[in-house]
Amino acid sequence: MKKVIHAARGVFLWADDRLHLTKLWESTAGHHVPQSAGSWFYVFGSATLLCFMIQLITGIMLALVYVPSAAEAYASLEYLTYEQNLGWFLRAVHYWGSNFMVGIMLLHMTQVYLFGAYKYPREITWISGVILMVLTLGLAFTGQVMRFDEDAYWGLGIGAAIMGRVPFMGEQMVNFMLGGPIIASETLSRFFALHVFVLPGSVLAIVSLHLRMVLTKGINEYPQPGMVVRRETYDKEYAAILKKEGVPFFPKAISKDLVAAAIVIFGILACAVYFGPKGPFGPPDPVQIDTLPRPDFYFMWIFAVAALMPEWMETIALLGGPVIIGLVLFALPFFNGTGEKSWRRRPVAVLVVILTYLSLGLLTYLGQSSPWSPAMDAWKGDLTPKEFLIGRTPLELKGSIIMQSMQCRNCHAIGGIGGRRGPDLSDVGARLTKDQLIRQVIQGGGNMPAYGDNLSPDEVEALVAFMYSLRPPGITPARDATLPGRAPME
């Protein structure tokens, strides 16, 4: 036994002499960090990197089976999901790993921002982090294209439509993005190359820089209110902190990272097993137009913004928005590189975070529910609650059928059932007079199409009669205020 240990020691010493392993270990895993940095708030960076490693490994596994060809990708996805042994599991872990990666990256960024870690002298740490965020979102979008189903196809269409708004060279940009004039085989091939070679390779390179900066400029100390960053004194102060309470990252500060890593892996596995992989949904067949294209979770807020913006600012916001956000993020450590670090003394930073999360959360919720989209099948599938039909005249009942068959319900709900693009019509008789209803139906307006060319006078009469009867019990019908004293027209 002694001999074996002796031999092993000899081998290690030989390798250490040739590879300088001990020195490498001391200057990386063993580098000193402030004891205060061993905090639960400091686990998100390593957790994001862990997610990336999981994505790298599961991604390579998936690439063993996946076929990046427009003709075969969908079939290979179905094979992966239903036939390949544990293929569903790998797909699920890869999908949930991406969700966790984007989410934890956001938490990491929030923590770094609130703790002032981007300030002097960690500008490049922050900037490389911003680049990593862009790359991660790029991986998320291209990954959504890898799941080459109907959502991927129309998602590419949305991307191309945004590119087509670029001034002067929009057409060229679309062709460059798609690899030709339409969404086809070359589109999938280039997104595959981006997703599996270009973007992960770039992430590896920039992560190296990011970690290198952590080693050279140190991890941020846990900020205390009143400890102000000054360019002249900070480096000495940080050195003093390290001297006073510096501990080697391994094994003194890594424990919480390790616990967090396990929690993240358990979380991904739990979601993967419980929810399974996403899709693939319908095939990427442009002719199958009975589809509701929706982006993945992390881009839902952009989808919502695109629905809610006024038309005049769409092109500016879709093209300029990302550039402005990027520039602000890049410039942040330069215009706000000194001063207080603690969020307790930075109310604006706290407000920025709260507003950002509120906006993103609200827009994501709106995107998921998409109240602006017509309910495409409401006209043939949705019920008219009976209280809106009982006691109606034959003319009014005829109007209710016209309302159904003319697809009014796709945009207008009755009793809360139906589309939500236009107002709910349950009480429209109390809001609009007959004349107003006729005008609205015939001329449209206020974001409603005109139906004048499409309805006969008889039909308009019946439809308006039905709508005029729609009002809660005990509420008088709307009346024309320019005709004082006259009873409402019946």
Partner 1 sequence: MNEEPQKPCACQDAPKKTTRRDFLLGAGFGLNVIAGAMIGVPLLGYVLSSFFKPNVLERISLGPVDQFPEGQTRFASYRNPTHRTWDGMTADIPVWVRRIEGEKFQVFAINCTHLGCPVRWFEESKLFMCPCHGGAFYEDGEHAAGPPPRGLYTYEVKVENGELFVMGGVLPNLSNQKI
Tokens read off for 343: 């969020």
What are the φ/ψ torsions at residue 401 (nearest 5 degrees)? -75, -40
Which residue in the set 7, 19, 53, 182 belongs to the binding site for partner 1 (CB under 8 A)?
182
Task: Identify which of residues 48 and 187 has a Cβ nearer to partner 1 in the complex.
Answer: 187
Does 320 contact partner 1 by CB under 8 A?
Answer: no
Is residue 431 a contact point for partner 1 (CB under 8 A)?
A: no
Q: Does 129 bind partner 1 (CB under 8 A)?
A: no
**H/E stretch holding 229:** strand 228-229
| Distance of closest approach, residue 75 Cβ to partner 1, in angstroms | 9
Q: Of the listed pieces 241-249, 263-271, 280-288, 470-478, which binds partner 1 according to CB under 8 A?
A: 280-288
Question: Minimum CB separation from partner 1 for residue 157, in Å?
Answer: 4
Q: Which residue in 121, 170, 322, 488 binds partner 1 (CB under 8 A)?
A: 170
Shortest reach from residue 321's CB to partner 1, in Å = 15
Minimum distance, C-beta of residue 49 to partner 1, in the bound complex (Å): 30
Looking at the Cβ atoms of 85 and 447, the one nearer to partner 1 is 447
Of the candidate residues 8, 262, 307, 383, the single one contacting partner 1 (CB under 8 A)? 307
Report if residue 192 touches partner 1, rule: CB under 8 A: no
Amino acid at 132: L
Q: Closer to partner 1 by CB, 106 or 163: give it.
A: 163
What does the alpha-carbon distance between residue 92 and residue 339 come to, in Å, rounded to a whole number? 45
* Nearest alpha carbon to residue 464 among 400, 378, 383, 407: 400
- What is d(CA 420, CA 467) in angstroms, rounded to the nearest whole number? 17
Interface residue with partner 1, options 20, 21, 40, 164 (CB under 8 A): 164
* Structure-token pair, residue 321: 């928005």
Please tell me whether residue 267 binds partner 1 under the rule CB under 8 A: no
Distance CA 238, CA 244 (A): 10
Q: Is 28 in the site for partner 1 (CB under 8 A)?
A: no
- For residue 174, state whether it binds partner 1 (rule: CB under 8 A): yes
Question: Does residue 165 bind partner 1 (CB under 8 A)?
Answer: yes
Out of 107, 184, 395, 417, name the contact with partner 1 by CB under 8 A: 184
As a whole number of angstroms, the distance between CA 95 and CA 140 comes to 9
271 binds partner 1 (CB under 8 A): no
Give min distance, CB of 311 to partner 1, in A: 6
Sequence-separated (6 or more) residues with CB below 8 Å from residue 168? none
d(CA 396, CA 389): 8
DSSP state of 414: B
462 contacts partner 1 (rule: CB under 8 A): no
Nearer CB in complex with partner 1: 75/227 = 75
Q: Please report whether residue 232 would count as binding partner 1 according to CB under 8 A.
A: no
Cα gap 273→88, rounded to integer Å: 9
Binding segment toward partner 1, per CB under 8 A, in 3-11, 216-224, 303-311, 480-488: 303-311
Q: Which helix (H) or strand (E) holds 433?
A: none
Q: Which listed residue (97, 223, 374, 418) binds partner 1 by CB under 8 A? A: 374
294 with 303: CB under 8 angstroms? yes
Residue labelled with tokens 């309302």: 403
Q: Note every long-range contact of 361-368, with CB atoms under 8 Å and residues 24 or more positions apart, other chains counting.
A: 363/300, 363/301, 363/304, 363/305, 363/308, 364/297, 364/300, 364/301, 364/304, 366/304, 366/307, 366/308, 367/294, 367/295, 367/300, 367/301, 367/303, 367/304, 367/307, 368/300
The one-letter code for the residue type at 106 is L
Query: Binding to partner 1 (CB under 8 A): which residues in 198-217?
Result: none
Could you give the 3-state DSSP secondary structure of residue 34?
strand
| CB neighbours of residue 84 within 10 Å | 18
CA dist 412 and 388 (Å) reads 14
Q: With binding defined as CB under 8 A, does residue 316 bind partner 1?
A: no
Query: 3-class DSSP state for residue 100?
Result: helix
Choose, by CB under 8 A, the member of 82, 85, 244, 311 that binds partner 1. 311
Buried/exposed 188-218: b ≥16 CB within 10 Å, e otherwise: bebbbebbbeebbebbeebbebbeebbeebb
**What x/- string results for residues 395 through 424 when contact with partner 1 is judged by CB under 8 A?**
----------xxxx-xx---------x---
**In the bound complex, what is the minimum distance in angstroms from residue 141's beta carbon to partner 1?**
15
Q: Which of residues 332-361 bind partner 1 (CB under 8 A)?
A: none
Is 114 one of the binding residues for partner 1 (CB under 8 A)?
Answer: no
Q: Which of 69, 202, 384, 436 binds partner 1 (CB under 8 A)?
A: 69
For position 194 contacting partner 1 by CB under 8 A, the verdict is no
Contact between 290 and partner 1 per CB under 8 A: yes
Q: Which is nearer to partner 1, 110 or 373 (CB)?
A: 373
Residue 180 CB-density burial (10 A; 0-12 exposed, 13-18 middle, 19+ buried): middle
Total residues found in the chain within this entry: 490
Binding to partner 1 by residue 489, rule CB under 8 A? no
- CB 286 to partner 1: min, Å: 6
Q: Is 317 in the site for partner 1 (CB under 8 A)?
A: no
Q: Which of 350, 376, 397, 430 binds partner 1 (CB under 8 A)?
A: 376
Nearest distance from C-beta of residue 330 to partner 1, angstroms:
26
Q: How many helices (H) and strands (E) does the chain have?
A: 21, 4
